[in-house]
Structure 1
């Protein structure tokens, strides 16, 4: 789309920079200008010609000879009909310029200006200076001076309208005419500065400074308002009226300023600051519209729109766009809204987003829990039970994060903390809802599949928080806490029936007085192996964790059977034989669990060390073994030790007391203690 007209006389394209076609009368800078209209030139101009020429002859005696010759531009220097006027030089004029030729009359100057002949500016300036000289000399009466000044000011009003009218539509005129208009305004600015530097004391009314450059800037502001204030074309479906208006203003400002940089800057003198003038005018209008909108109570959508324009689109896509960044760097346009207003909008945005995220996540959890209660089977993905809940929750969080970052990175960092708080609350609610499902829905057909799907959800949550969100460790533990509980409770639900089946098998150890421990353990392992396929739809990492739970259960139940105090062996041979059985069983348990994915290597010494305590006969050697064992398992208490030592029927009470005392020594543990013996109650 073309945004400026390139050739004079072409019709404007809809959406172009609206610089008015017809010259418009601009506001005058003084009361004298407003009162001195072109009507002052009409009455009795012919009758006054003779008097004017008589006055000119008299003035020649006082003025330099070259002054009258300036007016020859209308006779000697005339162009043929239809030929454009030439551009006047833009250099600093002489204080008293001189041109050969007869002096034009006031009527001739008026006619030339009405035809748009900007060349009349120089003769008009000479006429103004002549009038000032006559007033300073005191040769004419006050009434006569006022009459002549009104004519000069009326001519200046015509010149002003012609020159500024050209500048209001700078790309719809020929370049040489634009240069003429620019030269006229620049010359008037120089005269204004000279008049301010050398204030006159004549009887004439003060008419300078005329400030035509300031009037041009006002015209630019009016043109910017007209362009930016146009009703935008029909926007995309779903876009609000406010969004369409702001998009229109942003696009108009960017494309118009690019045209100013490319096409007007090379033509305008530097003192006009054409790029800065247009940029400030567009910026001020844009800022005024935003400030007006910000005074109202905004909906969430409009709050976001204001922020994204003020903080992102305007500074990045408009002001710092490739074609404008260098040109606008020194203009100092600033922000569209003051910092205080921006902070208020940001606070409102964060509050709105937190409420939306909370509501959306709660709705997602409610829908998911309804599926569990209605016994809807979960999806299968790559052979695993799958739930969309984690994906939905993380997408809600990510969208809110991206929305804030689309405004500023700093706001994205602020909302991250808000979102983590809401996510932590959601995960706690998720755990409570899942626990209720575990208690109430055990008899449903797809109960176990939904349990597995929710355990698998923990992986998506954990991976996203650890990798994508890069949550700090202290905050991460708070977030993962509910997930760890959910997973643990899920494992308990999945393993409950298996552990119930294993309980009578473990009782056989004590029921048979450890007569056939190998056969009993073989049945236990077979039972576990037959149930493992039930867990195949868990994610691999969780299947391994579940196998660690099985591993822990097997070791724990085995130790419980050893601690029942129902077996007392009084000879070293009997104790050594039991120790061999325990070592063999420990090897079977370790091999089976490791082969099926358990990584619980910390359990490996639990049974073999107990076997060694049972095998040893020297109390001192037993003490060393107990001390080592307490280092590995800090929750190994005197009660547990007493239960194991009860198997050794050949130890005296004093020896038992001495061995137990070794646990009075404080053993420092560097790593966090994992529970084993704290799960075992001894009588």
Structure 2
């Protein structure tokens, strides 16, 4: 069966543009448009009160009357009756009227040409051009939407109650715009410069561009006939062309700049302006073209729109809200994602594929955000603000929160997620951050000293104890502050972690000296009170613990850790030396009176010596290792040397067998001192036996036995000299005689 018989409403007109037959899909789309346009024209004509049979017409044809009398309903005539006025829409609809509707014998395959009709005298030339432009737009600037309209059939009802009811459903399906296009025929009648400018102002881009091309064509023809046309007129026309093209480009720039704004309403203009850009890029080398690339101008317009979008994001002042920058960056990321989602979902379908719309917007955001961040960097002065900025740049921007968002996939797979920052911007920002870290750590260390002055030194507060050690808040406060900075920096990247750690340690390096200076200034008057000793032990522990904490950064910053370790160790040594000097000063008068007549008869001096040694031992029990052992060993050596040294000074010589009492007393006192230093964990165990060996020599009842007891003393203590032996014999009361000489002779033999 013939298709024309099956579907008499189907338009079988074959459209041709510029002698080229459109593709199948394009033909169907254009035919659908023509059919819809013709049906609309018919409905308008049917409703025309001046048309016979039209709704509201008072003139009824005789055929209709006769038909009613016979009970036959005659369909309305497709053509107007004689004397009726043609409406413009009816006239335009007649252009597409197929000959098959008038003559069913004509084969369907035979195509007919579209003829121009004369314009109604009442229509202005501008309106004629506008209608022709709209028609060519629909035919040649095919949009990105395919519209399916389903209308219900009108059911016949009794006369007098006839009403047309139509229900249209429009489904919008986004399809990719064709890359190629057909340029409509240029108008034969040119508009004036003012009229073209008015079209541009009214955003009639297609019509204004066609007239510009016609004007440009005329200019090119006149330029070729340069001898026939006045150079002044030619220059004037070239100036007009440049002015109009400039206006058109500015209008396109403004439309593109605002195209991604919800309130722009210019979405339907994007495809026409894209075709204009394509056409002008092709004609870039022809005379009369505007300087500069149209495509580049479009990209710049996209960038300007992105810049406006970024600047519209809310930004509060620091005085209004402490988290002003973090909040702004959060809103900034949300705006970027929403904008690119709109480009992906809608905007990119308004352009041909060659424009690479999504990628252009992504690159524009990379550049625009980089410039926006440069302004924010100048306002960021606090450490938390600089951290927020660095974290957003290095981590957040390219993460799933923004450029890596799932809603932007898979388009983002082909795009870079890196910001287009200036060459040294990130380095300068990191340096600024590290400089602020140093200042922040310096302020924290100063506050540590101030707290110690106000809460401890001024009120003479006793140190706190924890796990049998004197403790202070200082190492934990400093380590907590530093560790927070290091951890935050590590979240950004390893390079910043290393720089921030180095900055902290560099600022920490001079802290021990500053602390010691303040301590001596505020607490030197406490000497030699026990509180002074307790403070010194407390700060020995403090810097020991702080040094251990800093060892954790040895792998990251070995040089800086070693520098702080050296300064902390020097302070600990000075504090230990202060304790040692204080103890030596306290026991000096008591040690000086050892091995004298008073000492032999009175224990008061030794009692004071022992008391102070035991008190210091109790204090030192609250000192952390390894300094306790080192300090106890030094004190042990000092007390032993000074105690025994009094024997060598020949202050007293025992007579009348008092040497036995002296030996017994020395042994008893030596044992008491030994037990004290054992409790202090002294490592000088070799000093324990020296007292016993001397007591054996001093306490011997017979002088003849002395030479047999000096061998252990000589072998264990190589520095024990002949003068030492003479002093010991003198204290015993043996200063001459044969036995005296035999003892010295034996000593000489042992030394060999």
Please classify the TM superposition score into its range, dividing by the shorter chain length.
Answer: 0.5 to 0.7
Counterpart in 2 of 1:232? 314
Task: Give the deviation of 1:524 after TM superposition.
Answer: 6.4
User: Is 2:576 aligned against 1:488?
Assistant: yes
The answer on whether the counterparts of 1:505 and 1:523 sit within 8 Å (CA) in structure 2 is: no
Flag structure 1 segments of 5+ consecutive residues without an equivalent.
1-59, 83-97, 132-142, 631-635, 663-683
CA distances 1:200-230 after superposition (whole Å, capped 9, x unpaired): 9xxx96699995x656544533432232111
User: Is 2:365 aligned against 1:282?
Assistant: yes
Choose between structure 1 and 2 for higher RCO, CA contacts under 8 A separated by at least 6 residues.
1
CA distances 1:582-610 after superposition (whole Å, capped 9, x unpaired): 8887666545533x3x3322x11124267
Relative distance call for 1:276 and 1:72 in structure 2 (3 A) is: closer
- Measured on the aligned residues, the alpha-carbon RMSD in Å equals 6.1
User: Is 2:651 aligned against 1:599?
Assistant: no
CA distances 1:515-567 after superposition (whole Å, capped 9, x unpaired): 999x9989966775577556676568776666556544543343324443457
Counterpart in 1 of 2:516? 431
Counterpart in 1 of 2:527? 442
Task: Give the deviation of 1:504 after TM superposition.
Answer: 3.2
Counterpart in 1 of 2:442? 358
Relative distance call for 1:516 and 1:157 in structure 2 (3 A) is: same
Relative distance call for 1:260 and 1:476 in structure 2 (3 A) is: same
The equivalences for 1:91-102 within 5 A come to: 102=114
Task: Give the deviation of 1:430 after TM superposition.
Answer: 1.6
The answer on whether the counterparts of 2:707 and 2:746 sit within 8 Å (CA) in structure 1 is: no
User: Is 2:715 aligned against 1:625?
Assistant: yes
CA distance in structure 2 between the partners assigned to 1:651 and 1:355 by the alignment: 76
Relative distance call for 1:396 and 1:283 in structure 2 (3 A) is: same
Counterpart in 1 of 2:173? none
Relative distance call for 1:99 and 1:377 in structure 2 (3 A) is: farther
CA distance in structure 1 between the partners assigned to 2:514 and 2:373 by the alignment: 41
Which stretch has the larger CA shift, 72-81 or 483-492?
72-81
Counterpart in 1 of 2:336? 253
Counterpart in 2 of 1:560? 645
- How many aligned residue pairs are there? 546
Counterpart in 1 of 2:146? none
CA distance in structure 2 between the partners assigned to 1:61 and 1:394 by the alignment: 80
User: Is 2:566 aligned against 1:478?
Assistant: yes
Task: Give the deviation of 1:232 after TM superposition.
Answer: 0.6
Task: Give the deviation of 1:280 after TM superposition.
Answer: 1.7
Counterpart in 1 of 2:549? 464
User: Is 2:214 aligned against 1:128?
Assistant: no
The equivalences for 1:374-389 within 5 A come to: 374-378=458-462, 380-382=464-466, 386-389=471-474
Flag structure 2 segments of 5+ consecutive residues without an equivalent.
1-15, 42-109, 118-125, 144-177, 212-247, 698-705, 730-739
Relative distance call for 1:494 and 1:217 in structure 2 (3 A) is: same
Task: Give the deviation of 1:514 after TM superposition.
Answer: 7.9
User: Is 2:510 aligned against 1:422?
Assistant: no
Relative distance call for 1:411 and 1:606 in structure 2 (3 A) is: same
User: Is 2:427 aligned against 1:340?
Assistant: no
CA distance in structure 2 between the partners assigned to 1:153 and 1:268 by the alignment: 15
The equivalences for 1:24-43 within 5 A come to: none
CA distance in structure 1 between the partners assigned to 2:749 and 2:506 by the alignment: 54
The equivalences for 1:146-185 within 5 A come to: 154-155=206-207, 157=209
CA distance in structure 2 between the partners assigned to 1:61 and 1:117 by the alignment: 12
CA distance in structure 1 between the partners assigned to 2:111 and 2:386 by the alignment: 60
Task: Give the deviation of 1:488 after TM superposition.
Answer: 0.9
The answer on whether the counterparts of 1:505 and 1:524 sit within 8 Å (CA) in structure 2 is: yes
Relative distance call for 1:342 and 1:552 in structure 2 (3 A) is: same
The answer on whether the counterparts of 1:221 and 1:281 sit within 8 Å (CA) in structure 2 is: yes
Which stretch has the larger CA shift, 230-239 or 180-189?
180-189
Relative distance call for 1:219 and 1:611 in structure 2 (3 A) is: same
Counterpart in 1 of 2:151? none
CA distance in structure 2 between the partners assigned to 1:378 and 1:314 by the alignment: 49
CA distance in structure 2 between the partners assigned to 1:342 and 1:440 by the alignment: 52
Counterpart in 1 of 2:58? none
User: Is 2:724 aligned against 1:643?
Assistant: yes
CA distances 1:384-418 after superposition (whole Å, capped 9, x unpaired): 65543444444554555566656653234234334
CA distance in structure 2 between the partners assigned to 1:454 and 1:183 by the alignment: 77
SS in 1 for 2:509: helix
Counterpart in 2 of 1:48? none
Task: Give the deviation of 1:451 after TM superposition.
Answer: 4.4
1:413 to 498, 503, 523: 498
The answer on whether the counterparts of 2:271 and 2:351 sit within 8 Å (CA) in structure 1 is: no
Which stretch has the larger CA shift, 336-345 or 315-324?
336-345
> Which has more radius of gyration?
2
CA distance in structure 1 between the partners assigned to 2:667 and 2:283 by the alignment: 114
Normalising by structure 1, report the TM-score: 0.59
Normalising by structure 2, report the TM-score: 0.54
1:315 to 390, 394, 417: 394
CA distance in structure 2 between the partners assigned to 1:126 and 1:452 by the alignment: 90
Relative distance call for 1:446 and 1:551 in structure 2 (3 A) is: closer
Which stretch has the larger CA shift, 347-356 or 611-620?
611-620
